[in-house]
Amino acid sequence: MSELKIVVTGASGRNWAGYGDLIDLGGRDKTARQLLTDPQTSGGLLVTCSPAAVEDVLAAFRTEGFDRAAVIGEIQSGAPGVAIA
């Protein structure tokens, strides 16, 4: 039986080197880290809005055919960083 081989871009490692110290992976492994920093998967559109506007913003995206638009997190005060839940 052949072993699964994971191939990652060089940019994945450079991305982690650039901001990895600000990321809490929530106990996830190296594979999750590589996926989160892969430049081929990190090019989605990110929009911020006030909590009161979330439903209107999602409705606008869905009206335009972006039915997979979703809330993925929230901005909080404090030191910069990302916590993967």
* pLDDT tens-digit series, residues 6-40: 788 888 889 899 989 999 999 999 888 888 888 87
Cα–Cα distance measured from residue 26 to residue 9, given in angstroms and rounded to the nearest whole number: 23
Residue 75 lies in a domain: yes
Q: How confident is the model at residue 44 (pLDDT cuts 50, 70, 90)?
A: low
- Averaged over 49-54, what is the pLDDT? 95
**Residue span of the structural domain in which 34 resides:** 10-83
**Residue 64 burial class via C-beta count within 10 angstroms: exposed 0-12, middle 13-18, buried 19 and up:** exposed
Please indicate, yes or no, if residue 1 is contained in any of the structural domains: no
Domains held by the chain: number: 1
CA-CA-CA-CA torsion sign (48, 18, 42, 4): negative
Chain mean position to CA 68: 15
**Mean pLDDT, range 47-73, rounded to an integer:** 94
pTM of the model: 0.58
Q: What is the mean pLDDT of the chain?
A: 87
47 domain-assigned: yes
